[in-house]
């Protein structure tokens, strides 16, 4: 690990006061410490923010507020989260391991880096890690890589389960900088790689995620997160689906649908939502709507299985929803 300057700011204002380049915020450390060991990330200055008052899970005027330093385990266990947004709790519990869920923060989960093996290996090129050096994944080992939102520069999958459920719920992230506070829709927070895959989110220098806000959505109490992976636990998604449905009798009135393991960012599927609305809540409707999930897919050599897997995962999630209540 490279040397760095270690600081422990006493207040949030202190933490964002000096947005020097090469500064990293340290929360749970499950991404940052790992990548510093690999020298994929080499911050000159590390700010330990763990004692800042960015905690709490509470109901606010804007919806459920989750402090950015809340740990994955505590959010998954929280009564309000479990009752109102079961897909959030399920996405969290399907993530990582018990140890890592105790450590990793909610803010850090949204900022975690891709698990692309080329990104993690400093001996090979990677446009995300070393802009302009090339992307070995496009022609290389790409079974786990993205089929949606990729570019000629980068095909890395966004690894977060939580972000998939949050994007389905129209969550926003609250950001704090020297200039003040702003809210950004999570849907716009993660960026497509395009020609600048090193830019992963709409964070300005020195800006800190302080809260995640989940708007009220009564019918999200009927929601699920289904995750398909190579082994049953402690593995990233090959395909996942976060689904909520509001029913009017036997008809689907509204739906929220997002998928993971597929995109270069958490992937909301408005075309599938539109195709579900007004249809009978039955398997035939789900199968027909799921066809729209793969609009614009671009499979690579080793992941041609993903579009079909994604459609089936979606149908399965919608069928599981029927079994609730």
Question: Can you give the binding site for other proteins, defined by CB under 8 A?
Answer: 1, 3-11, 14, 26, 29-30, 33-34, 36-38, 46, 48, 50, 73, 96-100, 102-103, 232-234
Q: How far is the CB of 103 from other proteins (least distance, A)?
A: 5
Q: How far is the CB of 78 from other proteins (least distance, A)?
A: 14
Q: How far is the CB of 282 from other proteins (least distance, A)?
A: 31
Q: How far is the CB of 104 from other proteins (least distance, A)?
A: 10
Q: Which is nearer to other proteins, 109 or 127 (CB)?
A: 109
Element (H, E) at 77: helix 72-77
Task: Name the nearest CA neighbour of 293 among 277, 278, 315.
Answer: 315
Q: How far is the CB of 38 from other proteins (least distance, A)?
A: 8
Q: Which is nearer to other proteins, 29 or 125 (CB)?
A: 29
Sheet containing strand 223-228, edge to edge, reads 223-228, 239-248, 251-260, 267-268
Q: How far is the CB of 37 from other proteins (least distance, A)?
A: 7
Q: How far is the CB of 13 from other proteins (least distance, A)?
A: 11
Neighbours of 305 (CB within 10 A): 13
Task: Name the nearest CA neighbour of 48 among 37, 61, 32.
Answer: 32
**CA 22, CA 39: separation in Å to the nearest integer?**
13
Task: Name the nearest CA neighbour of 74 among 113, 97, 104.
Answer: 104
Q: Which is nearer to other proteins, 29 or 140 (CB)?
A: 29
Q: How far is CA 233 from CA 158, 229, 256, 312, in A?
A: 18, 8, 25, 20
**φ, ψ for residue 143 (rounded to 5)?**
-60, -40
Q: How far is the CB of 63 from other proteins (least distance, A)?
A: 28
Q: Which is nearer to other proteins, 7 or 320 (CB)?
A: 7
Neighbours of 42 (CB within 10 A): 15
Q: Which is nearer to other proteins, 61 or 231 (CB)?
A: 231
**CA 286, CA 226: separation in Å to the nearest integer?**
15
Q: Which is nearer to other proteins, 122 or 274 (CB)?
A: 122
**CA 63, CA 198: separation in Å to the nearest integer?**
32
- C-alpha torsion sign, points 56, 57, 62, 68: positive
Q: Which is nearer to other proteins, 174 or 227 (CB)?
A: 227
**CA 192, CA 198: separation in Å to the nearest integer?**
10
Q: Which is nearer to other proteins, 162 or 310 (CB)?
A: 162
């Amino acid at each position: 690990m490279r040397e760095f300057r270690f600081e422990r700011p006493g207040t949030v204002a202190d933490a964002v006061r000096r947005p020097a380049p090469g500064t990293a915020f340290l929360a749970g450390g499950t991404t940052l410490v790992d990548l510093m060991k690999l020298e994929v990330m080499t911050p000159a200055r590390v700010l330990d923010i763990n004692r800042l008052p960015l905690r709490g899970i509470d109901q606010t005027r804007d919806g459920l507020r989750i402090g950015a330093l809340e740990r994955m385990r505590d959010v998954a266990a929280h009564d309000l989260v479990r009752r109102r947004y079961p897909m959030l709790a399920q996405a969290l519990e399907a993530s990582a391991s018990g140890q890592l869920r105790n450590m990793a923060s909610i803010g850090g989960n949204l900022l975690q880096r891709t698990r692309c093996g080329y990104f993690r290996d400093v001996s090979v090129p990677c446009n995300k890690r070393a802009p302009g050096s090339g992307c070995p994944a496009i022609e290389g080992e790409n079974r786990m890589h993205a089929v949606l939102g990729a570019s000629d520069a980068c095909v890395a999958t966004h690894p977060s389960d939580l972000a998939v459920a949050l994007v389905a719920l129209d969550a926003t992230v609250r950001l704090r900088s020297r200039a003040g506070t702003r809210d950004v829709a999570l849907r716009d927070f993660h960026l497509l790689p395009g020609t600048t895959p090193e830019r992963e989110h709409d964070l300005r220098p020195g800006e800190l995620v302080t809260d995640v806000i989940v708007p009220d959505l009564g019918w999200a109490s009927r929601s699920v997160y289904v995750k398909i992976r190579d082994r049953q636990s402690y593995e990233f998604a090959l395909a996942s689906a976060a689904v909520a449905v509001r029913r009017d009798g036997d008809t689907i009135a509204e739906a929220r649908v997002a998928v993971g393991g597929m995109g270069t960012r958490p992937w909301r599927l408005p075309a599938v939502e539109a195709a579900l609305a007004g249809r009978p809540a039955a398997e035939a409707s789900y199968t027909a709507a799921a066809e729209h999930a793969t609009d614009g897919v671009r499979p690579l050599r080793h992941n041609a299985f993903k579009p079909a897997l994604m459609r089936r995962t979606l149908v399965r999630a919608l069928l599981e929803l029927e079994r609730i209540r």
